[in-house]
Amino acid sequence: MRAGDRTASQQEERVPRLAPDCDPTGLDLTPAQGFLLSRIDGLTPESVLLQLGGLDPDEVRRCLDDWSSEGLVVFGKGGPPSRSAESAPVPVVDEALDRIPTPDPELDLPVKAQEAILEMYERLERPYHELLGVPLDADTRTVKRAYFGLSKEYHPDRYFRRDIGAFQPLLERVFRKIVEAYELMSDPGVRAEMERSLSGEAEAPAGAAGSAPGAAKPRSRPLSPFSSLGRLIAKRRAKAKGFFEAAMVAGGEERWLEATGSLRLAIAFDPANALYRERFGEVQPKAHAIRFEQLMKEADSALSFRDRGDALRLFEEALHFKPYDPEANHTAARLAWLVAEDLRKAKEYALRATEAEPDKGDYRRTLGQIYQAAGFAANARRELKAAVRLNPKDKEARAALKSL
Amino acid sequence: MSRVIGIDLGTTNSCVAVIENGQSTVIPNAGGYRTTPSMFAISHDGKRLVGHLAKRQAITNARNTIFGSKRLIGRRFDAEEVRQAVEFCPYEIVRGANDDPRINIAGKTFTCPEIAGIILREMKRVAEEYVGEPISDAVITVPAYFNDTQRQCTKDAGKIAGLEVLRIINEPTAAAMAYGAGNREEEKVAIYDLGGGTFDISILDMSDGVIEVLATSGNTFLGGEDFDRRIVGHLLERFQETEGIDLSEDPMALQRLKDAGEKAKCDLSEREKTEISLPFIASDDSGPRHLQLEFDRSSLEALVHGLVNQTIKVVESCVQDAGLQPGEVDRVILVGGQTRMPLIQKAVGECFGKGAHKGVNPDEVVAVGAALQGEALVSDDQKLLLLDVTPLSLGIATAGGHFAKLIERNTTVPVRKTHTFTSTRDNQTAVKIRVLQGESDAAAHNDLLGEFVLSGIRKAPKGEPEIEVCFDIDANGIVSASATDLATGKEQSITVNATGTLSQEEIERIIEDQELFEVASKG
């Protein structure tokens, strides 16, 4: 075997969101521009906005640029990472695909196919039967047919040796998920569980009907209990249980990093287990908090050694685990401004800090100073005034305000 | 668009096919034969001979004629299979630099991928002469039960032959493809593939051009050659009994016995009785001695009965792995020359409760399937899709010599699984991980694919670093790995000390050697 080279090519894409405290009602916008403004939610990337009806792409770009220079809109790096950090949803165990491409007519892949892949990708976390497009009580033959049909469309071999760019990892992920859905849908144990949990959600009394003899709806043909899949899944579940138990022991001893790792494995082996996911949801923030603390400590010690470049890097890493921590954002903002001289980044961090704690004078001052450095006088004045109002003794803020 | 060829690189014979106007064609070599012996020799006057030319002089030049090298490819020199080969082969097998078996003939040492490469180059040449244009793309088949190292070595062989290997596919799966290509209906099919050196069984589910492998199993050291060896052993005994002479140390006699045994075996597939006649096979003080005896089907069957039973046991467990009863299999297809033997047809028929399908040519169907897969990959229409599985479980060695499976056998490929590692000592900066393939719970009983050293781990108290290692098995069944430090998102450098495979430099050097030779043979 050979070492694999996994290089995820990730081009940066702008994701606009509205600046806090901004009031667009005073602006003079056409209805189309208003519509565009209403679509800016901090998650939708620019490329998607470009495709909205009613405005041509150049106009969209121009509006975004204008609004950005007016401080109305700020650009983030991409929705999904921060979203996932906030809500700690289902972990993506096999890989982190934090960049979703948008249809690109340049690729050796019909746009229709690109759209189909994206659509399928969006639906990956849906219940398995929806993913396969079959009814919940579909028999094994229907499930297999659906699997074969989808495989023909989404197997990576379909685009063998073609340059499909960022769609390659997506396609691979979609296919793996289809296989997973098929394997689990073919397992009677998993099916029973799915039907229980889903019918409980959708129509509560449906489960009760099953208990009445004769009223049972036609059931799928059960697989032989000797089926390799049945045994495979039983084995995988046993393995998952082992990891889960290890996680619980680790959790009991407050070793959260280990607990998270074990739970991640448990979920990998038994993705349908709601308990594991629930626990993961509880434990992962703790592990993230620990890593955040570790990195913050390292960052502080780097600062105390005046290694400010390294400190910035560490703060940024820490923010990966706690994207909205005000203090870390504030320090990162100052470092990005003063050390890296990256005003865009600095503004981003400072905005996050003020968003989290709008009444902290220091944060407002920093944001004001960064605006000032970037030449946004109106915004700078607003922030610095707020800083002085919040903290009348802030000489630095006063001086900056004066210099404006 | 240049054409894709399919090559069945067999233990005994190889075969090449191409798709022309949607029709598959098996390409005959210059001698008109549709298969070419997988043999390579250096003649007394230093000429390199491949295929029939090599076979023709094998008897007189047994020490410098290589056959059956596929049985050695991708194995460690210390493996039991290699030890057996050393004992039985007339050519010299030596330990190579990577602990791989290498073959010494005419004072030159060849690696196994190199020999396979020479045979593949010959098949490529045969195809190029036939279509009249250069060919670079190929799909090459391997036994389904080949492990990662054996697949990797076969892929390297393709590279050495100057081929772009689009895909390595499993022989029984290729056969199923050839069978199922024009078949729209839903069927469960068993492919029983007993070739010269290896045995595979695959159970597949096919409908409307999609071919899904449900389970696969086999034995990479059981094939027609073992049948021949049993016959040769029998002949040696009989000769010793009647003439009092031991021929087992005489390479030339052994080669003649092997040829005669093979021929008798084939004869007995057609009739009940045959005669083996080898005049002047030995001589002593009293003059020349001849081997002359009658051999009938029932004594052949008594000799190989155990081998056939071994295969049937594997078939039974594979059917169970597929989640089926033998009777649920709709069709049984026999592949490989050895399946012409009536005893095998009878045993397989009894096992599944139905006779074998007669419509395929057991010698050619694999190459045809490989060509079809090549065509399916490069063409736009998606008439055929293969969903194959990994034949062996993949895992890592854990403390106490245990084997922790990460990817179970019969998992659909391509597949990717991750595993999180941590340190066991404070401030540990490197972890060694041994990756294995096999079914035993004891690590030592499985095949070692490679050792990784995960280095550059952040210094931290034990148990804290989380290194996520990602194992991939691609559609070729070839394993690769990469690692990420979860805390920092940094990719870790991985050093792989693969066992048995050639390094990139070695392959390039061999390619250069080969090219030099090409020039020399033309000039």
Residue B156 near residue B478, CB atoms below 8 Å: no
What kind and span of H or E run contains B332? Answer: strand B331-335
Which positions in chain A touch B486 (Cβ < 8 Å)? 261
Pick the residue from chain B with its C-alpha nearest to A313.
B488
How far does chain B reach from its first CA to its final CA, in angstroms? Answer: 31
The minimal CB distance from A1 to the residues B480, B487, B488 is found for: B480
Task: Give pLDDT < 70 ranges for chain B.
Answer: 1, 492-500, 515-523
- Sequence-distant (6+) residues with CB within 8 A of B31 are B52
How far does chain A reach from its first CA to its final CA, in angstroms? Answer: 64
Place of tokens 């492990």: B147
The verdict on B361 touching A (C-beta cutoff 8 Å) is no
Token code pair at residue A117: 């892949």
Distances (CA, A) of A234 to A30, A112, A240: 61, 39, 10
- Sequence-distant (6+) residues with CB within 8 A of A233 are A183, A184, A187, A189, A190
What pLDDT was estimated at residue A99?
Answer: 59
Token code pair at residue A60: 């969209």
Burial per residue of B76-103, b for 16 or more beta-carbon CB atoms within 10 angstroms, e otherwise = bbebeebeebeeebbbebeebebebbbb
- Asked if A2's CB is within 8 angstroms of B480's CB, the reply is yes
- Asked if B214's CB is within 8 angstroms of A235's CB, the reply is no
Which stretch of A147-156, A394-403, B9-18, B461-470 has the lowest confidence by average pLDDT? Answer: B461-470
DSSP output for A114-131: HHHHHHHHHTTTS-HHHH
Residue A361 near residue A351, CB atoms below 8 Å: no
The verdict on A148 touching B (C-beta cutoff 8 Å) is yes
> Among the options B114, B193, B205, B363, which is catalytic?
B193
Distances (CA, A) of A77 to A43, B203, B243: 10, 49, 88
- Asked if B418's CB is within 8 angstroms of A224's CB, the reply is no
Helix (H, G, I), strand (E, B) or coil at B204: strand
- Asked if B478's CB is within 8 angstroms of A228's CB, the reply is no
Helix (H, G, I), strand (E, B) or coil at B459: coil
Which positions in chain A touch B320 (Cβ < 8 Å)? 226, 228
Average pLDDT over every residue of A110-120: 87
d(CA A355, CA A20): 7
Pick the residue from chain B with its C-alpha nearest to A5.
B482
Which stretch of A72-86, A126-140, A378-392, B127-141 has the lowest confidence by average pLDDT? Answer: A72-86
d(CA A38, CA A44): 11
- Asked if A1's CB is within 8 angstroms of B450's CB, the reply is yes
What kind and span of H or E run contains A17? Answer: strand A15-18
What kind and span of H or E run contains B18? Answer: strand B13-20
Q: Which residues sit opposite B395 in a β-bridge?
A: B405, B436
* Chain centroid to CA A318: 17
Cα four-point dihedral sign B96, B224, B168, B130:
positive
DSSP output for B271-308: -SEEEEEEEEEEEETTEEEEEEEEEEHHHHHHHHHHHH
What kind and span of H or E run contains B201? Answer: strand B199-207
pLDDT > 80? residue A241: yes
Q: Which residues sit opposite B169 in a β-bridge?
A: B141
Q: Which ranges in B132-223 belong to alpha helices (H)?
A: 148-160, 171-180
What kind and span of H or E run contains B352? Answer: helix B342-352
Distances (CA, A) of B360 to A30, A104, B340, B380: 72, 45, 12, 27
The verdict on A254 touching B (C-beta cutoff 8 Å) is no
pLDDT > 50? residue A227: no
Is B330 known to be catalytic? no
Distance from the A176 Cα atom to the nearest Cα atom in chain B, whole angstroms: 7
Neighbours of B514 (CB within 10 A): 17
β pairing state of B137-142 and B164-170: parallel
What kind and span of H or E run contains B116? Answer: helix B112-131
The minimal CB distance from B480 to the residues A4, A172, A228 is found for: A4
d(CA A182, CA A131): 9
The verdict on A221 touching B (C-beta cutoff 8 Å) is no
Helix (H, G, I), strand (E, B) or coil at B67: coil
Q: What are phi and psi of B250, to 5 degrees?
A: -105, 105
Q: Is the pTM of this model over 0.80?
A: no
pLDDT by residue (tens digit) across B124-152?
999 999 999 999 999 999 999 999 999 99
Residue A151 near residue A177, CB atoms below 8 Å: no
Neighbours of B470 (CB within 10 A): 18
d(CA A63, CA A27): 12
Is B128 known to be catalytic? no
Helix (H, G, I), strand (E, B) or coil at B335: strand
Which positions in chain A touch B455 (Cβ < 8 Å)? none
Is B8 known to be catalytic? yes
Distance from the A198 Cα atom to the nearest Cα atom in chain B, whole angstroms: 27
- Residue A144: which of B413, B206, B180, B328 has the closest Cα? B206
d(CA B276, CA B264): 7
Which positions in chain A touch B491 (Cβ < 8 Å)? 6
Could you say which DSSP state residue B223 is in? S
Neighbours of B283 (CB within 10 A): 11
d(CA A213, CA A217): 10
The verdict on B494 touching A (C-beta cutoff 8 Å) is yes
Pick the residue from chain A with its C-alpha nearest to B74.
A1
Q: What are phi and psi of A355, to 5 degrees?
A: -60, -45
Which positions in chain B touch A264 (Cβ < 8 Å)? 420
Q: What are phi and psi of A388, to 5 degrees?
A: -65, -40
- Residue A394: which of A369, A374, A377 has the closest Cα? A369
The verdict on B422 touching A (C-beta cutoff 8 Å) is yes
Angle at which helices A79-87 and A308-321 cross, to 10°: 60
What pLDDT was estimated at residue A202?
Answer: 42
> Among the options B122, B148, B156, B171, which is catalytic?
B171
The verdict on A236 touching B (C-beta cutoff 8 Å) is yes
The minimal CB distance from A3 to the residues B385, B416, B496 is found for: B496
Q: What angle do CA B239, B244, B246 make, to 5 degrees?
A: 65
- Asked if A1's CB is within 8 angstroms of B496's CB, the reply is yes
Helix (H, G, I), strand (E, B) or coil at B74: coil
Distance from the A89 Cα atom to the nearest Cα atom in chain B, whole angstroms: 17
Token code pair at residue B76: 């460690």
- Asked if A176's CB is within 8 angstroms of B416's CB, the reply is yes
The verdict on B423 touching A (C-beta cutoff 8 Å) is no
- Residue B249: which of B418, B5, B63, B36 has the closest Cα? B63
Distance from the B468 Cα atom to the nearest Cα atom in chain A, whole angstroms: 9
pLDDT by residue (tens digit) across A310-347?
888 889 888 888 888 899 999 999 998 988 888 888 99
- pLDDT-derived band of residue A77, with 50, 70 and 90 as boundaries? low
Quote the ipTM score.
Answer: 0.86
Pick the residue from chain B with its C-alpha nearest to A180.
B412
d(CA B272, CA B293): 14
Residue B139 near residue B151, CB atoms below 8 Å: no
DSSP output for A348-381: HHHHHHHHH-TT-HHHHHHHHHHHHHHT-HHHHH
Could you say which DSSP state residue B458 is in? P
- pLDDT-derived band of residue A78, with 50, 70 and 90 as boundaries? very low
- Asked if B498's CB is within 8 angstroms of A1's CB, the reply is yes
- Asked if A176's CB is within 8 angstroms of B496's CB, the reply is no
Distances (CA, A) of B350 to B78, B218, B299, B309, B319: 38, 19, 21, 12, 14
Is B193 known to be catalytic? yes
Residue B140 near residue B166, CB atoms below 8 Å: no
The minimal CB distance from B417 to the residues A227, A268, A317 is found for: A268
Length of chain B (residues): 523
β pairing state of B389-390 and B394-398: unpaired
Distance from the A33 Cα atom to the nearest Cα atom in chain B, whole angstroms: 39
What pLDDT was estimated at residue B312?
Answer: 96
The verdict on A95 touching B (C-beta cutoff 8 Å) is yes
The verdict on A152 touching B (C-beta cutoff 8 Å) is yes
Q: What are phi and psi of B118, to 5 degrees?
A: -65, -40
- Asked if A4's CB is within 8 angstroms of B470's CB, the reply is yes
Cα four-point dihedral sign B168, B172, B174, B177:
negative
pLDDT > 60? residue A32: yes
